[in-house]
Structure 1
Amino acid sequence: MRQLTVTEIDRLQLLTEKSAEVALIEPTSTGLRKSILDATLPLRSYLKEKNVHDYMQQEQGPTSKVQVQSVLIYPDATRASLASLYRPITKQGDPRIWFKGLASYADPHDVLAVLAFDQVLYVINITQLDLHALLAQPSHNPLQELLAAVNASSRMVADELLRALHKIAALGPIPALLQADTAVGRTLENLLGIGINSSKQPDYKGIELKSFRDKRGNRKTLFAQVPDWSNSRFHSSAEILDAFGYQRGEDFKLYCTVSTLLPNSQGLILRLDNKLQQLIEHATRGGVGDFVVWDLETLHKRLLEKHNETFWIAAESLLIDGQEHFIYKKVEHTRKPIVSQFDILLDQGVITLDHLIKRNAQGRVVEKGPLFKIKPKALNLLFPPSQIYTFV
């Protein structure tokens, strides 16, 4: 997938705001001419998660071809189509897809959003269609009707938590429980009666709490997930540290951010492998090459497990008599991440990975990550429309 333009990102964000969970495809000139497109890993994962089709269960050859009712979305009309999903006998059975009528709907390298709804695949050309103008029209059009049919929500526990946060905000500046980056979250959890634990489950009756100091502009942590050591060249955080770490004071550490866009100062870079369905970390120096992998399905499950519903809580940090205090001021409430967007945002460098590994003076290796983080203003690319509440 090529890098999206600013306009395409804006239109993708609009779909996300309208709760439209989509996968993206980019037809090439060859694909349009030959009526054949690669079914990329994000698209395959999306179709599987939506219970539309599982390529892993499909046999090779024309007799195993699956067809799915589809619709091409135009500004003022729709065109019935048919998606053909298959694995050819040649080329190791690489998954393929084609939409009837696509050659007259898209130009080479247009970006198309595929939306599965009620077992029908809808195709939206986000390169050509002015989505903002279509949704602003006073008269109904196919895009408006489709997106209106996709929305839903419910909110009992969220209201309970909001009431509790209102009471905490009314207390004014609250002394931090400890001096650490994690103090803003630990202090709030203590006020809510949530004990310290190492569980990967959400914090408050199914709602994940993510507290942060406001105005820092830092990326927001989505979740922590170690690599699949059994399928990796390296088998521990200590090996990663030994290969790429550096001395800082008494600690030997590796604190760095890694993305899919460019190698970082340690020469580390991420890439998505569609065939293997993996996220791979690669070293461009020292002849190391690929050294750890994550199964994308595992990352998707962690995202859904952690962020089915999340309160992103901003706090003002201030010093009073030399001690840090917090005023909990604002909440952004998100629901049900759009899993197919996770791979897209990884590929676009919007979601990155942080290593936080160190060996202390006693020789003990500590790993606080790897942490998957998202750029501070990109939550609306991963989640349907959020709600923002201000307390003070």
Structure 2
Amino acid sequence: MIKTLDDFRREMEKISEQGWIRTHRSGPTGIGKTLEDLLGIEENNASEPDFGAYELKAARDTDSSMLTLFTKSPQPPRVNSYLLNEYGYQSDNYEYDKKVLHSTLSANSPSRIASTGKTLVVACTEDRIVLVGNDGYKNTDEAYWEREKLRQAFNRKYKHTLVYVKAKSRGVGRDEEFLFYEAYELSGFDYDGLMDLLQDGVVKIDIRIGQYSDGRAHDHGTGFRIHPQYFDKLFRNKALIWSRQ
């Protein structure tokens, strides 16, 4: 089990000697799962660091998939049911009598919600991040995140120093392979910078709401997400700690 940056560097040299490594899991999360397995880190969703005092993140260098920074349902309570009823739609990928609401939302342009004729956009107010439909605010029914609660949650999530590993990728699905080539130490999470990127449309909000068999709404992980190439902009301090020779 690695505990220090020296341990990490030593293990990355061993991984580097293997060259291209086949993914341990198909799909967007394959790179993180593969690196964790190679480093002997057990997969977990806890708030504790992945090794020693460090969180671990990995990304493909040309990845079009987005990294999930944080998952948190909007307020007020039961607003997911409102969103599902107001903006949900039926999908061929799910039971025909169930609604879903899957959409990636941005602050710089409204997002069309399937074929409903409706849109949602992210609006940044002084004290809230709000989801606004093309029919405007819905008063008590609007979905929002309080800025101060988000600040506290993000600062807890990223209170540890991060080790951010980049890899080249080739192939797809189960046949995808990775060549890990550099790693950075990131610290000093910048929440205000995150809010600026959200307002600029760089950070997006993924809505993933489904429906239980009894009709209740189910949040599959509404998340704040970012393209990997912008990830390091969320931190004040960045240092290269390992590179492939």
| Residue 205 of structure 2 is aligned to residue 353 of structure 1 | yes
Contact preservation (8 Å) 1:250, 1:360: no
**Which shifted more, 335-344 or 364-373?**
364-373
Give the letter for the 2:134 counterpart.
T
* SS of residue in 2 equivalent to 1:269: strand
Structure with higher Rg: it is: 1
| Residue 243 of structure 2 is aligned to residue 390 of structure 1 | yes
Contact preservation (8 Å) 2:120, 2:131: yes
Pair 1:227–1:200, CA change in 2 (3 A): farther
| Residue 165 of structure 2 is aligned to residue 316 of structure 1 | no
Pair 1:297–1:287, CA change in 2 (3 A): closer
| Residue 88 of structure 2 is aligned to residue 245 of structure 1 | yes
In the alignment, the residues of structure 1 paired with residue 73 and residue 58 of structure 2 have an alpha-carbon distance, to the nearest angstrom, of 22
Gaps of 5+ in 1: 1-155
* Alignment partner of 1:181 out of 6, 15, 28: 28
Q: CA RMSD in A?
A: 3.1
Spell out the pairing of 1:149-298 with structure 2 (5 A cutoff).
157-230=4-77, 235=78, 237-251=80-94, 252-266=99-113, 267-274=119-126, 277-285=127-135, 288=138, 291-298=142-149
Question: Paired residue for 2:194?
Answer: 342
Gaps of 5+ in 2: 114-118
What is the TM-score of this pair, normalised by structure 2? 0.77
* SS of residue in 2 equivalent to 1:187: helix
In the alignment, the residues of structure 2 paired with residue 362 and residue 214 of structure 1 have an alpha-carbon distance, to the nearest angstrom, of 43
Contact preservation (8 Å) 1:314, 1:330: yes
Measured after TM superposition, the shift of residue 335 of structure 1 is 0.6
Pair 1:186–1:368, CA change in 2 (3 A): farther
What is the TM-score of this pair, normalised by structure 1? 0.51
* SS of residue in 2 equivalent to 1:299: helix
User: How many residues are aligned here?
Assistant: 231
Measured after TM superposition, the shift of residue 310 of structure 1 is 1.5
Measured after TM superposition, the shift of residue 309 of structure 1 is 1.6
Pair 1:374–1:181, CA change in 2 (3 A): closer
Cα deviation code 1:92-117 (max 9, x no counterpart): xxxxxxxxxxxxxxxxxxxxxxxxxx
In the alignment, the residues of structure 2 paired with residue 180 and residue 364 of structure 1 have an alpha-carbon distance, to the nearest angstrom, of 28
Cα deviation code 1:316-339 (max 9, x no counterpart): 33349x633332222233111122
Measured after TM superposition, the shift of residue 201 of structure 1 is 3.3
Q: Percent identity?
A: 26
In the alignment, the residues of structure 2 paired with residue 166 and residue 282 of structure 1 have an alpha-carbon distance, to the nearest angstrom, of 49
Pair 1:356–1:206, CA change in 2 (3 A): farther
Measured after TM superposition, the shift of residue 362 of structure 1 is 9.7
Contact preservation (8 Å) 1:202, 1:305: no
Pair 1:366–1:193, CA change in 2 (3 A): farther
Pair 1:184–1:353, CA change in 2 (3 A): same
